[in-house]
Structure 1
Amino acid sequence: MRALYYFLIGIVLFYIDTVIGLVIPMHIGDKDIIFVPHLTFMYILIVCVYRSFGVAMVLSVVLGLITDLYFGSFYGLYLFGYILLVVIMDYFFKTFYRDKTMLFIIILASTLILEIYVAIIYA
């Protein structure tokens, strides 16, 4: 039953993430800036730390596929990015065991790495 709750929370965060991305575009001069919070990705990373690696991998595969099908012009982009960064998160948090400051820093760094990875693939 818990696994269903993890999945439902991930789906709700995916839709909240999509709505925030659509509602908050900014225009500075002639540039459009769109903030995308990646709540789904951050949720998967937190599940990797506080639950188990297996649950985080299943969520990353399912939610990565959903993200690719909903947003993607390159299928598998978010799927492989989520999987790779969940594996890296699991590796690093064997060293920094549930330290909240390091959790915050690594989640922000992972989100930045995901954005750079997506930008490189689209470029």
Structure 2
Amino acid sequence: MGQWIVILALALVGQFVSDLISFPIPKTIIASIILFLLLEFKVVKADYFKEALASCKKHLAFLFLPVGVGIMTQLKSEPAMVYVKVLIIMIISTILIMLVTGVLADIIIGAQEKILGNKDKKEGKNE
């Protein structure tokens, strides 16, 4: 129960900060940044939120419905243009995700090969 109170408090602080600064940053992003800072500076331990996060993960699809509805209501264009914009965003974000994933995979594989290669060379010299 205490986990949900902390999460709700962070959401309220995010709302307050969002209202305080007149820059259009979503309150959920601000709350996420605050949570990240609390975790990074070890004010709160990540294990504290295990139960609440397990519950959120179980109902993840339901939690994304308000986001989809919010996107549709925020775009005040004609309905046909809304779908075109959303489709373009989906295509661009998918391509970016694929590119970033590929580059990161190459970097990680290269680092692993370098580490394992150095390890094999050291083991070969000892024999």
Q: Which has the higher strand share?
A: 1
Q: Which has the higher helix share?
A: 2
TM range (shorter): 0.3 to 0.5
Kindly indicate whether structure 1 or structure 2 has the higher relative contact order, using CA contacts under 8 Å at least 6 residues apart. 1
